[in-house]
Amino acid sequence: MNLRNRQLIPSFARPPSRVLIRKVARYEEDLLAIIYESLREFSLPIKDKTVLLKANLVGHDPVGSMNTHPAVIAAARESFLKLGAKRVIIGDGPALDRDTQAILESVRLTEFTGCLKFGVGADFVDLNIDDVERVSLETRASLLKELYLPKTVLGADFFVSMPKLKTHHWAGVTLSMKNLFGIVPGSCYGWPKNILHWAGIDRSILDINAAARPDFVIVDGILGMEGNGPIQGNPKHTGVLLFGDDPVAADSTACRVMGLRPEKIDYLSRASTMLGHIEPSKIQQLGEPIASVRTSFAVVPAFQALRDQESK
Amino acid sequence: MNSLAPSAASQNHESFRALRAELFSHLRDAQNSEGGWPFHASGESRVEPTCWALLALANTSESSQASIARGFEFLRAQQLSDGSWPAAGGMSSGGWVTSLAALAHAQFLASEMLGAPGSLSEPGSSLSAGPVRNTIVAALQWLCDDYPRDSSRWQKFLKNFSSAKHESHNNEFRGWGWTPRTSSWVEPTSFALLAFASATAGAPGSRSEPGSFDLSPQLAKQVSERRELAVGLLYDRMCAGGGWNCGNPRVYGVDGESLILPTCWALLALRDAPDHPNRGLSLEWLQKSFAAISSPGSLAVAQITLQHYGIAVRESSRRLCQWSAADLAGQGTHVAAWSLLALNPSRHWPVPS
């Protein structure tokens, strides 16, 4: 099955979602064991399938608070292979710099993954310059009627969004759903993908997620970013990895970990009708309880209303 | 040292030549049957990689006339009725690649005017001067008519009521967006300026005045006005300390970091613009940053840029030779084409001043 054949199911007709939180203090821990064991709890249908890991690679990041950490990406790749995936592709379409190779060099991805093949039959796909296919945006949440999206995304059997835990100066937070801006190809829409800003960031997030439908989420929250994210904020150590089989539920849980109210985030609130669950009662919480890892994240002044009671 | 051993210089020369030859073969072999180039071998033909491949092949001395002719046939087939080009086949509206396609056509025409060997512009063919000029004029007209929305009167009015005071730039200037009716950004603005420069310069070396390229007085005036606004925009959007990023030099009071590629395209576009302290500052930034460039795409374009300003860059070709042609092509046809251009000492693009 690929993503093009998938049905959109209203949230009220969906079974409860599952989100798992693991405490991971440092990137030097045995991430392969942690991620492998965490994925096993979900019994994912990935045997002999092609899995796409959509990382969040933004740019030069000496502190390690901006990009999905390469150790997490590499451990996730190994874990999916160990669980029986036929092929695991890592992909992203960075938003601001078209020199994806320079970004990969700067994040030292291959130091963790080993040699990666680029181009035809690649282990890493630059989604900005992938072949594209027209996708009609049935949800019409934004002003966009269609987008041309990468064939690697549309053809993947199992699609995993792997964001960093960050606040965002325009969207409130950038997690697994906002991470999908990175599948919109720069070669068609530019660096940045400014057409999405004009169409409305929150509503574009809904349209893209409804079209591409991530199957699974792994949030790198070991070191996140607070304040003026997604680039110029401050590092925030949270010490968690978060896994989920529903992007809305995973992002809502991540917000609660950050001391933010997901219901107040426009795109998450809207997504809860069609794309997944936002209410804690519809989310089966596994692993660590939220309260044990909760860390208040600072936000820019425009988003102060997102902060929960304890954060105020 | 053994006097029979080849010197380091001649070894380097040989490795440059070998890589150039391999890149040339790679580009020629990657061309699809309909004449266009994909980003990756066996992919779908797209306007952007086709333009870069044509610019690179047209700058080599190797015989590639048939490839070039087929490449331009693909571009001509892709041009939309309004004069623009779409970024991907099937898209119904044009975008930023229109500037690249106009630039490639203008460079082709310039090389034909110079009497390049194996002329393709046989009278009556679609690549003869008349049709090519019409193609370029239609593209320039589309570019002149394409105003980004960020600096429209309505947007300026709305900004009076906005609480977001994070923008640091002057909205009186206008360049081009990546897609129509969005905001101005550094790279598409630079590509449009490069297209204007190539189309209005005539043959390399002739430096004729704008308007000599069969532009109507009205279009020549529009080109001149848009160029002035765009040059102003580029200088205004420079990052603190020199260089450019995509076009947001400061967000929420924090300075953005410059990036290599936007800086190079902006500097190439500003080569013939009136002098400005920001150009010198950005050139200095690029020179200082050059040694730390780790990717071949940025390295190749930075080399071309600095050499275009007459600045010698040591070791740059040797550094490019660290990668095989297959590695370079694996990063995309555009990277292979930029590398081939950089390794070609007799290139005639960007037009030498």
Residue B126 has pLDDT above 80, yes or no: no
Read off the pLDDT of each residue in A185-190 and give the average, rounded to a whole number: 98
Residue B60 has pLDDT above 90, yes or no: no
Torsion angle of C-alpha atoms A215, A221, A222, A227, degrees rounded to 10: 150
Complex ipTM value: 0.95
Mean pLDDT for chain B overall: 87
CA–CA separation, B302 vs A157, rounded Å? 40
Does residue A98 belong to the interface with chain B, where contact is any CB pair within 8 Å? yes
Chain A CB contacts of B334 under 8 Å are 129
Count CB atoms within 10 A of the CB of residue A41.
Answer: 12
Does residue A121 belong to the interface with chain B, where contact is any CB pair within 8 Å? no
Which residue of chain B is at minimal alpha-carbon distance from A230? B251
Residue A6 has pLDDT above 50, yes or no: yes
Read off the pLDDT of each residue in A267-292 and give the average, rounded to a whole number: 97
Q: Positive or negative CA dihedral for A170, A174, A179, A180?
A: negative
Model confidence over B265-276: pLDDT tens digits? 999 999 989 999
Q: Are the C-beta atoms of A171 and A204 separated by less than 8 Å?
A: no
Residue B115 has pLDDT above 70, yes or no: no
pLDDT band for position B8 (cuts 50, 70, 90): low
3-class DSSP assignment, residue B257:
coil
Task: Return the domain boundaries, chain B.
Answer: 11-113+165-342
Chain A CB contacts of B166 under 8 Å are 169
Chain B CB contacts of A118 under 8 Å are 327, 330-331
pLDDT band for position A4 (cuts 50, 70, 90): low
Question: What's the gap in Å between the CA of A165 and the closest CA on chain B?
Answer: 20
Which residue of chain B is at minimal alpha-carbon distance from A123? B330
Q: Which of A129, A148, A167, A195 best tests the B interface by mutation, with the highest count of B CBs <10 A?
A: A129
Q: What is the pLDDT of residue B166?
A: 52
CA–CA separation, A239 vs B111, rounded Å? 60
Give the 3-state DSSP-derived string for chain A, with helices as H, strands as E and coil as C: CCHHHCCCCCHHHCCCEEEEEEECCCCCCCHHHHHHHHHHCCCCCCCCCEEEEEECCCCCCCCCCCCCCHHHHHHHHHHHHHCCCCEEEEEECCCCCCCHHHHHHHHCHHHHHCCCCCCCCCCEEEHHHCCEEEEECCCCCCCCCEEEEEHHHHHCCEEEEECEEEEECCCEEECCCHHHHHHCCHHHHCCCCHHHHHHCHHHHHHHHHHHHCCCEEEEEEEEEEEECCCCCCEEEEEEEEEEECCHHHHHHHHHHHCCECHHHCHHHHHHHHHCCCCCHHHEEEEECCHHHHCCCCCECHHHHHHECHHHC
Architecture of domain B11-113+165-342: Alpha/alpha barrel (1.50)
pLDDT band for position A146 (cuts 50, 70, 90): very high
Q: What is the pLDDT of residue B248?
A: 86
Q: What is the pLDDT of residue B353?
A: 34
Q: Are the C-beta atoms of B138 and B83 separated by less than 8 Å?
A: yes
Q: Which of A96, A100, A105 sits opposite B245 (nearest CB)?
A: A96
Q: Strands (DSSP E) along B135-273, which ranges?
A: 250-251, 254-255
Which range in A6-15, A58-67, B11-20 is most confidently predicted, on average pLDDT? A58-67
Model confidence over A62-108: pLDDT tens digits? 899 999 999 999 999 999 999 999 999 999 999 999 999 999 999 99
CA–CA separation, B302 vs B260, rounded Å? 7
CB pairs under 8 A between A and B: 123
Q: What is the pLDDT of residue A72?
A: 98
Q: Which of A98, A169, A197 sits opposite B252 (nearest CB)?
A: A169
Question: What's the gap in Å between the CA of A154 and the closest CA on chain B?
Answer: 15
Read off the pLDDT of each residue in A162-190 and give the average, rounded to a whole number: 97
Chain B CB contacts of A232 under 8 Å are 251-252, 254, 256
Residue A108: CB partners within 8 Å, gap ≥ 6? Answer: A70
Class of the CATH-defined domain A3-311: alpha beta
Q: What is the pLDDT of residue B209?
A: 45
DSSP class of residue B250 equals: E
Does residue B112 belong to the interface with chain A, where contact is any CB pair within 8 Å? no
Q: What is the pLDDT of residue B306?
A: 96
Burial class for A28, CB neighbours closer than 10 Å (0-12, 13-18, 19+): exposed
Q: What is the pLDDT of residue B161?
A: 59
pLDDT band for position B213 (cuts 50, 70, 90): low
pLDDT band for position B65 (cuts 50, 70, 90): confident
CA–CA separation, B67 vs B31, rounded Å? 8
Does residue B94 belong to the interface with chain A, where contact is any CB pair within 8 Å? no
Task: Return the domain boundaries, chain A.
Answer: 3-311
Choose the weakest-confidence range: B61-75, B149-163, B237-251: B149-163
Q: What is the pLDDT of residue B104?
A: 95
